[in-house]
Structure 1
Amino acid sequence: MHIPPYYKKAGWQKFFAGMFIGGVIAYAIFLFMYGTHFENWIEENLMLRDEIRDLKDRAETLNKDKEELNEKRKEQLVIQSVEIVFLNESKLLSQNLTDRLSIYKLRELAKEQIHDVIGKDVSSVADNERLIIKSLESKIYRVDEFTYELEVERLIISPKLTVSLQIKITKN
């Protein structure tokens, strides 16, 4: 079997030359596009790596600062919550002198009176304990048609400020 000698004809030579040159040009365009894309990808990758490194450094610094602040905060305890305890609550309820809703409202009024101590240092609250006692005892609390006075029996100053009170009904 014999392959015809197309390479000798000018038409076929131009066709094969055009295919070869077209393939070379297409490959050059492909390399240029791929190279440009790869270069942009590498540049973006390096920028993102730098940004990640910066963010990790910032996070590490912030965590160290947070730990230092937590250690300082532990040294200086702060008031986190206030608890009001009525010592004669059960006695007043059993004698039907007041109801649970009035006790609840009275507790909320007392908490409102001293809510400013939340977030303060325990030491500064301890220095001003007389002020807290006077602010609770000097006010007359009105709930519904009853008027109440509170007398502080015990004040426990810790991260949870506990105030033990006696309820006195002054006016029916």
Structure 2
Amino acid sequence: MAFFTTNYSNVNNNQGNYEPLPDGKYEMLILSASEEVAKTGSRSLTFKLVVRNDLDQALPATNGKYHNRIVWARVWKNKQTGTYNMDNLQYIMKAIGVPEGTPIESLEDFVKITWGKPVKVNVHLEDDDYHKGEKRNNINPWDWENTEFIKVAHTNKDGQVMNQGQPQTQQAPDINANSLPF
């Protein structure tokens, strides 16, 4: 059985539009969250968000125009203390609707809780420090809000409808070491 069959019919769907999103509030889903290390050695909790495609009629100027676009949001660790600002993480927990007083046991638990959740975020356009003359998107932790549209009918790239914001699978695929080329 083949790993996949080539099909290039959807390859150019973006029509070369890789410009940052315009400033504004967008209804999004958190596709993933993970801790990453920048080239400088700084650590961040990085969120991959997608503009929801089930709100084209409700929000034609934002979601309708930019649905399925991906934006990354980062919460940086303090270099001196090696810890995250807990207030920044609290903004995100409040935005996804985690009840007051809920204990979060670990960063892994925090990540699992956020996956697939709908949120409204205020996207800012700012100068890119690494690519002079270019712009990039930024989402500050305090710019996360509760969604106005709890019921989620976003369709992922495989045509599957997200079930109330929950991803279809939350575990990594089982990889056989014998199938790796190295």
Short-chain TM bin: under 0.3
Whichever of the two has the greater Rg, that structure is 1
Q: More strand by proportion, 1 or 2?
A: 2
Q: More helix by proportion, 1 or 2?
A: 1
TM-score (norm 2): 0.22
